[in-house]
Structure 1
Amino acid sequence: METRRTPLHAEHEALGAHFTDFAGWRMPLRYDSELAEHHAVRNSAGLFDLSHMGEIVLAGPEAGRALDHALVGHASAIGVGRARYTMITRADGGVLDDLIVYRTGDQEFLVVANASNAAVVFQALVERAEGYQTTVEDKSADYALLAVQGPAATTILAGLTTTDLAAVRYYASYPTEVAGRPALLARTGYTGEDGFELFLDPADAPHVWQALLAAGAPHDIRPAGLGCRDTLRLEAGMPLYGNELTAERTPYHANLGRVVKLDKQADFVGRDALAAVAERGADAKLVGLKTESRRAPRHGYPVLDAAGTPVGEVTSGALSPTLGYSVAMAYVTPEHAEPGTKLAVDIRGRQEPVEVVALPFYKRNS
């Protein structure tokens, strides 16, 4: 199968991007320095191409009810112009994907799925919407998605849109224009910083990308790739599908039971299994680990107790550019999940001491 390219591929090439294959897409891993891109997002702004994400539109008088049945959240309660983080699970409660659902009209919802799961989510929504008065369409090819993230994001974007960005609430979206092109502007992101995501016509994406870089030049904006996106979301304690979220774990395992709305009237796929986990408790808990060195625990490394007995496994880990030491997220048994607990990680045969800490590792001042 041929690797797909986003509408901004030529822009990335012109900027000297180093590419990687990700979920069937040719994506920028970095442009120059992952470290510099990471610090730009924390201190000024970074510009990301997220056009590999999947966009699925449900429209019709029962679109909200269909999503209430399909997802763990209460989609029909989302106000027009608002968005909500949620998940779609299997019947046994295992996570198929984490999603953001935008209500774009009284009878229309935009579901944004991870690139690696877009086809699975679309098929599941088609099946679960059967019998409801709604259409389910994969509109991924109709969208390009850009994200400008960082403390200077509002200042940079303000000069390119007439929308009052100060009035745009977190997890809200507005139809507007950016650099003279139609866009759905949302105050969402995956970096732990303030910022915006822009849904655009693919043909307009290069123009808006160039306009953002030009407007951001006085503020030290940098184009940013998937490499720094991963360290940013790790520092912010945000889960990644395939690492913290899998079909073998429920939202409760990942400390995200708050997104499961067991009290909504609609029955939904996975409800019984999730209710059982909520009642008895999960058999593992996602925690943060802080190391005493710069050696980074990596995905799959065993977590050990004081006696050297395995009590869990690392899901993500890296040297934190912001903090200057290595951090990781891991699943451990509940009795080892209390902050302050001393554990170790087997890093290529050597036991490195770690301490359980509360997530997130980094939280912006706001």
Structure 2
Amino acid sequence: MKQTPFTAIHQSLGAKMHEFAGYNMPIEYTTGIIDEHMTVVNGVGVFDVSHMGEFWVKGPKALQFLQDITSNDVSKLKVGDIQYTCFPNDRGGIIDDMLVYRYEDEKYMLVVNAANMDKDWAWCVAHNQVGAELENSSDNIGQLSIQGPLATKVLQKLTDIDLSQIPYYTFKVGKFAGCDNVILSNTGYTGAGGFEIYFYPQDGEKIWHAIFEAGAEEGIKPIGLGARDTLRLEMGFCLYGNDITDETSPLEAGLGWITKFAEGKNFPSRAMLEQQKAEGVAHKLIAFKLKDKGVPRSHYEIADEAGNIIGEVTSGTMSPSLKIGIGMGYVKKEHSTVGTKIYIVVRGRKLEAEIVKPPMRIQ
């Protein structure tokens, strides 16, 4: 298994380690997922996300390449802006979802999911018809996600950059914890606020220890991938491989807002997705809360009141914040309205649930 710059630290802290996307990653620490989840909701926690992939797209053809391969309109980005987008495939599905950073006028960084890194890189290389300069720097960049309402307070102790002047989905580059060329990005996958920081792997341990020293007074804790999943699910954020896949379209997944049909955008299956937008989709991704006791899991069937199967759960958990079962799944469009009563089929039992509008966690 691959290691991150922090693998030895996780092990020394007693983390439960497990293979994820080819990396040896911490799933939870000794306090457990619920405590870690609530630490992020109420305070501040640190995730090792160095397994994520980073690709540079450079040169005078960089923008054209990104317009031809991603769903969102990259031309709208100014230097310092970040955009959520996806790679549509040739069948209207999603190869991966990702972030695009406009680092310089002719230099962009793509941050892709670890599990899709090789697939994404092959797709980029195969579809580089315009001669953009591509560089896979995934092994040369470390990443930590510092999340929670106290994250900014902790991180501000370690940099002269005014973090309050970095709006959501923008970034700045500068010195952090005595290390140069650190990207400070106001993004995250938790809905609790905070920053994601990118740095050279050799600076990783220095940065980790500086953050934990700076956050001691705020009760900072390391957080594993288990709580990362429950946090994103409470927000209704999609997880690739569960809620979005090669077989689901961005319009079915409620990602029409990142699917732009602007002039000059020629991404694969554009015509197919334009037709979907005009005619509507047959299935839609919904979020739900259980009214009966139980825990929904991926692949559980979803039924209507008459017992007809109308869809399938894609993600589910017991919400640490709400203390009830929550989840996401695809249902037939006619059953997708917020407030609709649905049933999750759990080992032959029908558990009542209600379709809700994310986020499920009170902000």
Query: Would you say same fold, with TM above 0.5?
Result: yes
Q: CA shift at 1:167, angstroms? A: 0.4
Q: 1:11 pairs with 9, 12, 31, which one?
A: 9
Q: 1:142 pairs with 111, 130, 140, which one?
A: 140
Q: In 1, Cα distance between the equivalents of 2:227 and 2:111? A: 21
Number of the residue aligned with 2:154: 156
Instruction: Give unmatched runs, 5+ long, in structure 2.
Output: none
Q: CA shift at 1:245, angstroms? A: 0.4
Q: In 2, Cα distance between the equivalents of 1:222 and 1:266? A: 43
4+ long deviations beyond 6 Å = none
Does the CA contact (< 8 Å) of 2:36 and 2:223 recur in 1? Answer: yes
Q: TM-score, normalised by structure 1?
A: 0.97
Q: CA shift at 1:363, angstroms? A: 4.6
Number of the residue aligned with 1:248: 247
Amino acid at match of 1:165: L
2:311 is the counterpart of 1:342: no
Counting matched residue pairs gives 361
Does the CA contact (< 8 Å) of 2:292 and 2:353 recur in 1? Answer: no
CA spacing shift, 1:277–1:151, aligned 2, 3 Å: same
Q: In 1, Cα distance between the equivalents of 2:4 and 2:89? A: 30
| Equivalent position SS for 2:139 | helix
Does the CA contact (< 8 Å) of 1:254 and 1:286 recur in 2? Answer: yes
Q: CA shift at 1:264, angstroms? A: 3.2
Q: In 1, Cα distance between the equivalents of 2:283 and 2:220? A: 40
Q: In 1, Cα distance between the equivalents of 2:355 and 2:109? A: 37
Does the CA contact (< 8 Å) of 2:313 and 2:327 recur in 1? Answer: yes
* Residues 39-118 of structure 1: pairs in structure 2 closer than 5 A: 39-118=38-117
Number of the residue aligned with 2:22: 24
Amino acid at match of 2:330: Y
Number of the residue aligned with 1:290: 289
- Root mean square deviation of aligned Cα: 1.0
Amino acid at match of 2:282: D
2:277 is the counterpart of 1:266: no
Amino acid at match of 1:27: M
Number of the residue aligned with 2:34: 35
Percent of pairs with identical residues: 39
Amino acid at match of 1:144: G
Q: TM-score, normalised by structure 2?
A: 0.98
Does the CA contact (< 8 Å) of 1:192 and 1:363 recur in 2? Answer: no
Does the CA contact (< 8 Å) of 1:40 and 1:222 recur in 2? Answer: yes
Q: In 2, Cα distance between the equivalents of 1:196 and 1:84? A: 15
| Equivalent position SS for 1:5 | coil
Q: In 1, Cα distance between the equivalents of 2:15 and 2:188? A: 22
Q: In 2, Cα distance between the equivalents of 1:294 and 1:220? A: 33
**Deviation string, structure 1 residues 47-77 (Cα, Å, up to 9, x no partner):** 0000000000011011011100011111233
Amino acid at match of 1:242: G
Q: CA shift at 1:266, angstroms? A: 2.8
Instruction: Give unmatched runs, 5+ long, in structure 1.
Output: none
